[in-house]
Structure 1
Amino acid sequence: MTESAKNRIKRLKMRSWRRGTKEMDMILGPYSDTELAGLNEAQITLYDALLSENDHDLYQWVTGQVPTPVPYADLLPVISKFAFKS
């Protein structure tokens, strides 16, 4: 059975808020709440894959401590800018 777009967004939001670390909860949770609905199918698929990554690695990529892997080169800077906007 294929997952509906509405259910997929709901699942991704839940996974964004319930990470392994509080830091990533606070970065990905708000991003997912405000931005996921506006992403296209390819971006949603990439975000879904991103959520399978280790939180320690994700945090280092988002904060710029370690270079972002090529598959996420377009997505992570957007998340980082969203999370650390002043």
Structure 2
Amino acid sequence: MGEDIEVRRRRAVWRAGHRGTKELDLLVGRFAAVHLASMGEPDLARFEAFLAVSEPELQAWLLAPEPGAGETEFAEIVTAIRKYHGLA
């Protein structure tokens, strides 16, 4: 049987806030703390996959000034995080 969704949410919030760089800890962690509680299983699974992306890639997607950065399978998450922090 699969893990309880609440356990997965708590784990994802912790992982989001402990990325390895202070910038990503703040950007991804604060977003996760607010939004993961309302995510259903499909969105949570996609966010968990997002968390597996390398630090340099995430940082480039989230902090790139040019439009179209983060145009990947995670574009919706990147856009949501950027909007949450006023970067979009």
TM range, normalised to the smaller chain? 0.7 to 0.9
Structure 1 unaligned blocks of 5 or more: none
* TM-score, reference length from structure 2: 0.85
Q: Is the 8 A contact 2:16 2:51 kept in 1?
A: yes
TM-align CA RMSD: 1.7
Letter in 2 for 1:37: A
Distance 1:34 1:12 in 2: 12
Residue deviations 1:3-62 (CA, integer Å, cap 9, x gap): 101100010011011111110000011111111112222211111001001112101101
Q: What is the match of residue 86 of structure 2?
A: 84
Where in structure 1 do 4 or more consecutive aligned residues deviate above 6 Å? none
Distance 2:70 2:80 in 1: 12
* TM-score, reference length from structure 1: 0.87
Q: Alignment length, in residue pairs?
A: 85
Structure 2 unaligned blocks of 5 or more: none
Q: What is the match of residue 32 of structure 1?
A: 32
